[in-house]
Structure 1
Amino acid sequence: MFELIQSISVQAEAGRASGKASVPADHPLLADHFPGMPILPGSFLVELASQIAGPLAEEVVKLHHGFDRWAIPGMIRNLKFLGPSSLPSQLSISVAVLRHEASNVLLDVTAEQNSELILRGELVMMMIETSSAWDEAITARNNRLAKWKAAS
């Protein structure tokens, strides 16, 4: 899924982030969803929103609580799919912090395709500590994030 994110902009002080994602119609994971009328699965759309929400949650916790934590999706609240996302998809994802604590961050997320709102809801990102066993994964993730930020 990481290869689908094209760019991200994070403004931790303002509690906002935005990003762009591009999903091709011929992505191998979507081969059977649905032949003749390809659409983006809702679970993929939620994952893409989480990819934008996570870095914002991490930067907000560092800014306001003074330590590094890593965001993982913890809960989906009040999420609604407002329309299908036909493939190929060019998506704009926006995220805003509603509440932050050291252990979790509640975020409002929206996604648009062709300026039409297709997703609105709330994500709770759980903020976790990591061990040195995560170092390689965190380095790879930070490299991807730097590339996305440079593209915005």
Structure 2
Amino acid sequence: MIRTTLAAAALALPALAAPASAEVITKTTDRTVYDAMNALETAVTDAGATVFARVDHATGAASVDMELMPMELLIFGNPQLGTPALQADGLAGLVLPLKVLVYEKDGQTLIAYEAVPDMFDGLNIPADAEYAAKMAGALDMLTEKAAN
């Protein structure tokens, strides 16, 4: 039993390391974190996608008497795009719905998300899947609207 557990852990290690090498696309904006996140949320809903959660990490940190620069995460999706990915590989549920982080660093507001090909790396999702290309295009368009 210990061998099985160790073997499983050894097999899982490369998967755990994968996010560190993932490409993160980052855009800058002159907006505040709050205003950029509001613009992103509006763009997402106007595009017909569903916002599942808006997470304010700084507020969470403050609740335990710790500090963070302004930082919010938006979790959103569109079942017409996400469902085919989940049908191709159920493990896509670990990276879907889509996520965009808006945060402040060194006085600059940044908008960041993981590149779609890297997000699906290691999953049984074809590199040329139409839904993946549409997700990448949507992330680019939505974050541009949030930035400008």
Larger proportion of helix: 2
Larger radius of gyration: 2
Larger proportion of strand: 1
- TM-score range normalised by the length of the shorter chain: under 0.3
